Chains A and B, each alone.
Chain A
Amino acid sequence: MAQANTYQAKSQFGYRRHPDQDRPGQSPAEHPVVVVGAGPVGLSLAIDLAQRGQRVVLLDDADRIGEGSRAICFSKRSLEYWDRLGVADRMVEKGVVWSVGRIFHGESQLYQFNLLPEDGHKRPAFINLQQYYAEAYLVDRISDLPAIDLRWRNKVTALEQRNDSVALTIETPEGAYRLHAQYVVACDGARSSLRQMVGADFAGQVFEDQFLIADVKMTAEFPTERWFWFDPPFHAGRSALLHRQPDGVWRIDLQLNRYADPTVEKKPENVRPRIARMLGHDKFEFEWISLYKFQCRRMDRFLHGRVIFAGDSAHQVSPFGARGANSGLEDAENLSWKLDRVLRGTSPASLLESYHVERSLAADENIRESTRSTDFMAPNSHQEARLRKAVLSLAKETEFGKRMVNGGRLSVPCSYDSPLSSPDADAWDAGPRPGCSMLDAPLGQQVYLTDAFRKGGTDFTLLSFSNGAAIDAPDGVKGICIGGEGGLADPSGLVTKRYDAEPGAAYLLRPDGYVAARFRHPTRDAIAVALSRAQGLN
């Protein structure tokens, strides 16, 4: 089916024997954390943990970067995370930056939207980048980090939960060996074998309609925007999506009916006329062809003893909304600082429960949003189709109709109703409330708040707005001061505005950039209480 692209040939990694494999069976090597699965989530998590000073074993059952473009849309939030992991510049440089989407019905445009209409953010709303590039850049970054031990062709075949560790049996080309880990993070994808090993179910909804995804290489004049059609002339009665990727590759997504025969539909000679009808020519080459039935489902619990699930292994969504890889990266970002603290013994193991709580909220939101989009594209009944028809028709002449048209709601960071957040005690008109992600803002030419946040490694950070008096931050809390003597400038006033701040105000940020608490008139005690709470200490 898919033709190997040129990049993949350069992304082959060799299996190498590790001394762990030579240890006697009764005394396997002990590791603090083993991450299973070297996809975007596992790779990012390993880098984050290593940057925090943890030694990480990262296992992958393959010996190369996965085939096909797969995930292509990486969100602002993911780029801000990758900035902290030292890979975002490369991703953005290679990627295609976009923020505008257009929705068409039949031949005419219904409306267009801009996902980042304001200036003063370091990172764009989205970049499109083939997943294999993202993975390759993450693997390159790992070669700078000796704390990560990346072992290709190491397949976990058995798992045993013990009181103080997890025992893994790992199959390699040279036979099996065993490892003990204090914690195992399963980032092994939607078909996770670790999920089966812990005996967890993966319940949810399967959508009956099938979708054909083709990545084609061509020279085209389409703008760098996300174009979505309901009932286009070239694909009557169904939906279509066109999206640009680097290297002159275009993602085309065509809805097929539920009875289409996948083996027949996937054949390039059958896909070609469909794409040619859409493009009006057949001067293109296939990079990748795939046929899907989408599923929206999640594990009931993301923690199973000492095995933690992140990314597609824990939750799966349909692709409309770019909520798969991006939510997996948010999992990694949420988990790594907590796991680091637990491994160091600076927070109790119960802090990990907040990973389950927060990321479950996110998974539910992502599943809800992507289910609604998929249902809108593929109505389940005659009456649903009728309501959709009414919305599409009202969208031509009303604003509310446009807003109801659901061609995918694109990923934004979830807000957590979290045990780690301290509720507001003061009145705020705007700004990110506790449980929300920090907002970026400019600190001058080409310098941003997210840069100041990541500088020197991300830990708990007190973002304060100077009123002349120094704020007494608790030990171990990094300070970013806006204004005043020695503080950072806010020349555009956007930091102060986006945080609804007056002089003297302060925000306590978690290591993942989420707001733990905020104060109009911070005191050392109030900050310390909020900090303990956010660290799971009380």
Chain B
Amino acid sequence: MPLSTSSNFARPDDAFRAIVEAHRGLTEEQSADFDAALVLILANHIGDIDVLRDALVLAKRRMIDGQQQQQQQQ
């Protein structure tokens, strides 16, 4: 898998915090718009379609896990 999933930030909390703070004060709608732009900017910076595809798969797995959990709860 060309996607790096090891921890790449020296201070991961700073990165997480920066993203969280960027969303502060935004409505749900604005947050979603913001995320869309951010995803496109980062995807272009990565500039590698295989890495992007791996990232999409990894992110998509949350949806599948989420669905399974819901089914178990039912």
**In the bound complex, how far is the Cα of B30 from the Cα of A393, in angstroms?**
14
Whether B40 pairs with A394 at a CB distance below 8 angstroms is: yes
Is B44's beta carbon under 8 Å from chain A?
Answer: yes
**In the bound complex, how far is the Cα of B40 from the Cα of A394, in angstroms?**
9
Could you list some 9 contacts between A and B, CB below 8 A? A383-B36, A387-B36, A390-B33, A390-B36, A393-B37, A394-B40, A394-B41, A400-B40, A400-B44
Whether B36 pairs with A404 at a CB distance below 8 angstroms is: no
Q: Which of chain B's residues have a CB closer than 8 A to the CB of A383?
A: 32, 36
Whether B33 pairs with A386 at a CB distance below 8 angstroms is: yes
Using CB atoms, name the residue of chain A closest to B43.
A400
Whether B44 pairs with A389 at a CB distance below 8 angstroms is: no
Residues of A within 8 A of B (CB): 383, 386-387, 389-391, 393-394, 398, 400-401, 404
Q: Which of chain A's residues have a CB closer than 8 A to the CB of B36?
A: 383, 386-387, 389-390
Q: Which of chain A's residues have a CB closer than 8 A to the CB of B33?
A: 386, 389-390
For chain B residues 1-54, which have a beta carbon within 8 Å of chain A?
Answer: 32-33, 36-37, 39-41, 44
**In the bound complex, how far is the Cα of B64 from the Cα of A120, in angstroms?**
55
**In the bound complex, how far is the Cα of B60 from the Cα of A440, in angstroms?**
46
Residues of B within 8 A of A (CB): 32-33, 36-37, 39-41, 44
Using CB atoms, name the residue of chain B closest to A404.
B40
**In the bound complex, how far is the Cα of B36 from the Cα of A386, in angstroms?**
7
Interface centre among B33, B36, B37 (most CB of A within 10 A): B36
**In the bound complex, how far is the Cα of B32 from the Cα of A510, in angstroms?**
52
Q: How far is the CB of B38 from chain A (nearest CB, A)?
A: 9
Q: Which of chain A's residues have a CB closer than 8 A to the CB of B37?
A: 390, 393-394
Q: How far is the CB of B44 from chain A (nearest CB, A)?
A: 4
Whether A401 pairs with B32 at a CB distance below 8 angstroms is: no
Give me 17 other A-B pairs in contact (C-beta within 8 A), A391-B40, A393-B37 excluded.
A383-B36, A386-B32, A386-B33, A386-B36, A389-B33, A389-B36, A390-B33, A390-B36, A390-B37, A390-B39, A390-B40, A394-B37, A394-B40, A394-B41, A398-B41, A398-B44, A400-B44
Q: Which of chain B's residues have a CB closer than 8 A to the CB of A394?
A: 37, 40-41
Q: Which of chain A's residues have a CB closer than 8 A to the CB of B40?
A: 387, 390-391, 394, 400-401, 404
Q: How far is the CB of B60 from chain A (nearest CB, A)?
A: 14
Using CB atoms, name the residue of chain A closest to B36.
A390
**In the bound complex, how far is the Cα of B44 from the Cα of A404, in angstroms?**
10
**In the bound complex, how far is the Cα of B44 from the Cα of A390, in angstroms?**
13
**In the bound complex, how far is the Cα of B40 from the Cα of A386, in angstroms?**
11
Using CB atoms, name the residue of chain B closest to A399.
B44
Q: Which of chain B's residues have a CB closer than 8 A to the CB of A386?
A: 32-33, 36
Q: How far is the CB of A6 from chain B (nearest CB, A)?
A: 50
**In the bound complex, how far is the Cα of B39 from the Cα of A367, in angstroms?**
27
Using CB atoms, name the residue of chain A closest to B40.
A390
Q: Which of chain B's residues have a CB closer than 8 A to the CB of A393?
A: 37
Q: How far is the CB of B53 from chain A (nearest CB, A)?
A: 16
Using CB atoms, name the residue of chain A closest to B29.
A386
**In the bound complex, how far is the Cα of B40 from the Cα of A391, in angstroms?**
8
**In the bound complex, how far is the Cα of B45 from the Cα of A245, in angstroms?**
41
Q: How far is the CB of B54 from chain A (nearest CB, A)?
A: 20
**In the bound complex, how far is the Cα of B45 from the Cα of A398, in angstroms?**
12
Using CB atoms, name the residue of chain B closest to A389.
B33
**In the bound complex, how far is the Cα of B44 from the Cα of A72, in angstroms?**
35
**In the bound complex, how far is the Cα of B36 from the Cα of A401, in angstroms?**
12
**In the bound complex, how far is the Cα of B36 from the Cα of A394, in angstroms?**
11
Q: How far is the CB of B41 from chain A (nearest CB, A)?
A: 7
